[in-house]
Chains A and B, each alone.
Chain A
Amino acid sequence: MEELIRYLAESLVEQPDCVRVYTKETRRETIIKLRVAQQDVGRVVGRNGRVANAMRALLEVAARHHRKPVLLEID
């Protein structure tokens, strides 16, 4: 799942080298954190969060066998 988000993000930004993805586990959720270069934030968020939500939708399907809900957070 981390790999999916990393691949999507790296393909969407101007500075793929600055893409950082890590996973944080809490008791109830798995949280995938995505960080990109300042200038690229718009590219992974999109107008009205459309890009971020599209990534969340794919993540939800990718996490179909996961035992906890998986969230995507963009810093």
Chain B
Amino acid sequence: MADAQIFTGKNVEEAIAEGLRALGLSQTEVEIEIISRGSRGIFGLGSEPAQVRIKPRPVSAAPQLEPTIVSAPPSSEAPQQRDAGRRPAAVSEAETVSQVIETSDAVSAIAETEDAEEVEQIETAERSSAEEEEQLAQLASELLDNVVRLMGFEARVVAEWREPDADNEQRYLLLDLHGKDLNLLIGRRGETLNNLQYLVRLMVNQRLHRWKNIVVDVEGYRRRRMEHLSQLALRSAQQVAQTGRALALEPMPASERRIIHLTLRDHPDVITESSGEGERRKVHILPRKSA
């Protein structure tokens, strides 16, 4: 039986559609588990993709990829399924999914309000055997090591599983590169590092057909940068609060703007918003109007 695969999309609905397209199956032929509903981020920034795990439903009689089943609308499918045991299950699955799709529209900036049940599911999935994590760490390290070497750098990969933190909602694999003259791997505002991370994630995903949270770093750059940005945010907020005048920060990539927004999310005196397009998009810090 085929394994479960993980698919991502802008929201749960898209992630499911993507998965069904990739597998060539209809909703009634699969089991769907929502891993993350994703988040649109703050003011539409720093959004996280929604993730679903899709597993082909075991069907004993007919082969799964039979085109008539795939293309048949759900209503015409019901009479075909004489098997009393199977039909209600399939129907209830479809209902669950459509419910999820409805509610996903209401999901906005606060994606943290996930069901406790879902969180539990994630945890069980994440707590899969230590052996599996070790294997993944080895595979990912090897891929990253090869890429960096082919780019002409001498670096050592230090892999470590980390518990969720301010910047990562799930347990993640940290691949930290150590070596001489690795600044070029970081690039302007970490953009080369982000590209490297993106490709390593894709390569691991292609090999394992499973999505895992992998963070690539160079000698703790991300952590230092994050601390720097939160301090910058707090200092700027203080200034705005004192002078009552808005200020704009330098243009930053989405991942960095997100840190500013998150740091000041609950600040009593200021609010944040972004303006500008692409490379020039930046965060503005404005005095909060006392209601």
B partners with A: yes
Please report A residues at the B interface, Cβ cutoff 8 Å. 3-4, 7-8, 11-14, 43, 50-51, 53-55, 57-58, 61-62, 64-65
Q: Name the one of A7, A13, A64 contacting B147, with C-beta atoms under 8 angstroms.
A: A7
Q: Name the one of B143, B147, B206 contacting A58, with C-beta atoms under 8 angstroms.
A: B147
Q: Name the one of A4, A50, A51, A54 contacting B151, with C-beta atoms under 8 angstroms.
A: A4
Residues from chain B with Cβ under 8 Å of A64 in the complex: 152, 184
Please report B residues at the A interface, Cβ cutoff 8 Å. 143, 146-147, 150-152, 184-185, 187, 191-192, 195-196, 198-199, 202-203, 206-207
Q: Is the CB of A57 within 8 A of B191?
A: yes
A-B contact pairs, 16 of them (CB 8 A): A3-B150, A4-B147, A4-B150, A7-B147, A11-B203, A12-B199, A12-B202, A12-B206, A13-B206, A54-B196, A54-B199, A55-B199, A57-B192, A58-B199, A61-B184, A61-B185
Q: Is the CB of B151 within 8 A of A61?
A: yes
Residues from chain B with Cβ under 8 Å of A13 in the complex: 206
Q: How far is A19 from B184 in the complex, measured between Cα atoms in Å?
A: 28
Q: Is the CB of B203 within 8 A of A54?
A: no
Residues from chain B with Cβ under 8 Å of A7 in the complex: 146-147, 150
Q: Is the CB of A57 within 8 A of B147?
A: no
Shortest distance from the beta carbon of A44 to any chain B beta carbon, whole Å: 10
Q: Is the CB of B196 within 8 A of A58?
A: yes
Residues from chain B with Cβ under 8 Å of A55 in the complex: 199
Say whether chain A's binding surface is mostly helix, strand, loop, or mixed: helix
Q: How far is A41 from B273 in the complex, measured between Cα atoms in Å?
A: 38
Q: How far is A55 from B40 in the complex, measured between Cα atoms in Å?
A: 27
Q: Name the one of A14, A50, A58 contacting B192, with C-beta atoms under 8 angstroms.
A: A58
Shortest distance from the beta carbon of A54 to any chain B beta carbon, whole Å: 4
Q: How far is A42 from B195 in the complex, measured between Cα atoms in Å?
A: 17
Q: Is the CB of A51 within 8 A of B202?
A: yes
Residues from chain B with Cβ under 8 Å of A51 in the complex: 198-199, 202
CB-based nearest A residue for B152:
A62
Residues from chain A with Cβ under 8 Å of B191 in the complex: 57
Q: How far is A58 from B193 in the complex, measured between Cα atoms in Å?
A: 9
Q: Is the CB of B150 within 8 A of A62?
A: yes
Shortest distance from the beta carbon of B252 to any chain A beta carbon, whole Å: 17
CB-based nearest B residue for A65:
B152
User: Known contacts being A12-B206, A62-B150, is A50 close to B143, with CB within 8 Å?
Assistant: no
Residues from chain A with Cβ under 8 Å of B146 in the complex: 7
Residues from chain B with Cβ under 8 Å of A61 in the complex: 151, 184-185, 187, 192
Q: Name the one of A12, A14, A43, A57 contacting B195, with C-beta atoms under 8 angstroms.
A: A57
Q: Is the CB of B187 within 8 A of A57?
A: yes
User: Known contacts being A43-B206, A61-B184, A64-B184, is A8 close to B147, with CB within 8 Å?
Assistant: yes
Q: How far is A14 from B146 in the complex, measured between Cα atoms in Å?
A: 19
Residues from chain A with Cβ under 8 Å of B187 in the complex: 57, 61
Q: Is the CB of A11 within 8 A of B192?
A: no
CB-based nearest B residue for A16:
B206
Q: How far is A4 from B195 in the complex, measured between Cα atoms in Å?
A: 14
Q: How far is A39 from B189 in the complex, measured between Cα atoms in Å?
A: 34
Q: How far is A12 from B187 in the complex, measured between Cα atoms in Å?
A: 23
Shortest distance from the beta carbon of B16 to any chain A beta carbon, whole Å: 17
Q: Is the CB of B151 within 8 A of A58?
A: yes
Q: Is the CB of A58 within 8 A of B195?
A: yes
Residues from chain B with Cβ under 8 Å of A65 in the complex: 152
Residues from chain A with Cβ under 8 Å of B184 in the complex: 61, 64
